[in-house]
């Protein structure tokens, strides 16, 4: 696989960014520079680190209109929503700054009967951290690990997705502008996943945070198996929702259609399968149809567009395969009439567009209910009640999120966690200190 990066806009099919890619020897040099910068960054007080991060977030916020348009061109989300990602990223970053003191504070020990011995546990940086981000929410995904890594005192090598390489370029520029020492955050543009698997085995890399598919996450675990390398993995999902008989159907349909189709269904926490109590199934399907009829598929630079392209022709093929598989096994297409869903009538002819689709009569024998589709598909399955719904929701190799359940990764959906109260846990190692206060 070539390491060269050629980013193709999913809405136009045109090349919008090219880079030769960081080679292995260059990556080794970057890691050495990061290691050399470690002590300097550790010596910054937490207050000073927080000041730099907050300054960087302010710069990012001031440039959000430019970043939003770049994001739309790179990954296809409609321009009406991409500024929202920058705003939410800044909110997340400030939240992480707010909890940093508590998350990184010294843990006092229990004196017990040995009053002359003072005990405590320090939280020390792990060392150079490699963050490999995904393209679907690149700013949100990156900030979840970048801010805790830096505030904990670690230098970072950031590998943006080859689909959204400008995200890495902008973050590095703005953090350096905010006063972050240059080698504390370095950019690694890597178009070859096989090369990335080699890079993570550079000995001085202390931690890898990877966001991507389950297949790729497993490959990285296998590639790093010969050394003790912590991996923080956020991987695939096939997230369910259950509509009970007592649900407000209008409200619920609006929320679940948004959960399934927003970002063209390309979200690790997208609603990929719906289970509906038999007593309200038909009425709920009608409400879903009403909601979907209001959506507009089209040019993501048009502010009235609600749904843009999927990321690539390969994604189009996977989604169409899942739809065809379901229809061949007895599912029915219940998509409402919507003129914008006619792909042939779209003014943009080279984009990777897929029409949002409602499928009813689905079963767990179908790919759309078993695998991660990552597209704007709404499969709806009728169930007899709560017990059957819960059983079917849990009948999956994934365990990332579910509607009305907490966000957490189980099964083949990953290792570790990001964001929330435990956001910093991966980025420090515990050092136990025992001090004898008196002699004799």
Distance CA 347, CA 389 (A): 42
CA of 78: how far to CAs of 297, 309, 347, 393, in Å?
Answer: 10, 9, 15, 31
Distance CA 399, CA 407 (A): 9
* Distance between first and last Cα of the chain: 67
Cα-Cα-Cα-Cα torsion 254, 258, 260, 261, nearest 10 degrees, comes to: 130
Report the helix count and the strand count for the chain, using DSSP H and E.
14, 18
DSSP per-residue string spanning 81-133: HHHHHHHHHHHHHHHHHHTHHHHH--EEPP-TT-TTEEEEEEEEE---EEEE-
Count other C-beta atoms under 10 Å from residue 335's C-beta.
Answer: 18
Is 234 considered catalytic here? yes
- Run of H or E residues at 436: strand 428-436
CA of 375: how far to CAs of 234, 259, 322, 388, in Å?
Answer: 18, 11, 10, 26
CA 317 remoteness from chain centre: 22
- Run of H or E residues at 251: helix 249-261
Distance CA 127, CA 17 (A): 31
Closest by CA position to 103, among listed 159, 38, 148, 51: 148
Strands 332-333 vs 357-360: parallel, antiparallel or unpaired: antiparallel
| Active-site residue (options: 26, 70, 114, 234) | 234
Closest by CA position to 100, among listed 53, 46, 143, 48: 46
CA of 100: how far to CAs of 94, 107, 110, in Å?
Answer: 10, 14, 24
Distance CA 80, CA 422 (A): 32
Active-site annotation, residues: 234
């Amino acid at each position: 696989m070539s390491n060269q990066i050629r980013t193709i806009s999913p809405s136009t099919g045109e090349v919008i960014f090219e880079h030769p890619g960081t080679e292995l020897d260059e990556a080794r040099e970057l890691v050495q520079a990061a290691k050399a910068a470690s002590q300097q960054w550790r010596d910054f007080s937490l207050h000073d680190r927080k000041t730099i991060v907050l300054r960087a977030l302010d710069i990012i916020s001031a440039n959000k209109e430019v970043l939003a348009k770049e994001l739309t061109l790179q990954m296809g989300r409609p321009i009406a929503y991409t500024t929202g990602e920058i705003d939410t990223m800044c909110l997340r970053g400030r939240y992480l700054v707010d909890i940093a003191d508590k998350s990184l504070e010294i843990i006092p020990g229990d004196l017990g009967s040995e009053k002359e011995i003072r005990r405590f546990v320090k939280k020390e940086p792990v060392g150079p951290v490699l963050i490999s981000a995904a393209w679907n929410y690149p700013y949100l995904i990156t900030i979840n690990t970048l801010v805790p890594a830096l505030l904990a005192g670690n230098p970072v090598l950031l590998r943006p997705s080859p689909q959204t390489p400008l995200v890495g370029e902008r973050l590095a520029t703005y953090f350096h502008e905010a006063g972050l020492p240059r080698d504390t955050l370095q950019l690694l543009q890597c178009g070859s996943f096989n090369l990335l698997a080699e890079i993570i085995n550079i000995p001085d890399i202390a931690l890898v945070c990877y966001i991507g598919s389950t297949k790729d996450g497993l490959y990285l675990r296998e590639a790093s198996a010969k050394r003790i390398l912590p991996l923080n993995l956020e991987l695939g999902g096939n997230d369910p929702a259950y509509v009970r008989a007592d649900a407000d159907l209008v409200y619920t349909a609006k929320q679940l259609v948004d959960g399934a189709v927003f970002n063209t269904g390309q979200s690790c926490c997208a609603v990929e399968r719906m289970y509906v109590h038999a007593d309200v199934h038909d009425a709920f399907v009608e409400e879903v149809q009403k909601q979907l009829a209001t959506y507009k598929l089209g040019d993501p630079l048009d502010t009235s567009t609600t749904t843009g392209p999927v990321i690539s022709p390969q994604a189009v093929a996977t989604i169409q395969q899942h739809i065809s598989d379901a229809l061949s096994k007895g599912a029915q297409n219940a998509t409402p009439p919507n003129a914008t869903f006619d792909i042939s009538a779209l003014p943009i002819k080279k984009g990777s567009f897929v029409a949002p689709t409602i499928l009813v009569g689905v079963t767990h024998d179908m790919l759309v209910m078993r695998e991660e589709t990552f597209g704007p598909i709404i499969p709806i399955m009728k169930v007899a009640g709560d017990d059957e719904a819960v059983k079917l929701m849990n009948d999956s190799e994934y365990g990332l999120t579910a509607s009305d359940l907490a966000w957490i990764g189980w099964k083949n959906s990953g290792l570790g966690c990001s964001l929330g109260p435990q956001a910093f846990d991966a980025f420090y190692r515990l050092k136990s200190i025992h001090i004898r206060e008196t002699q004799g």
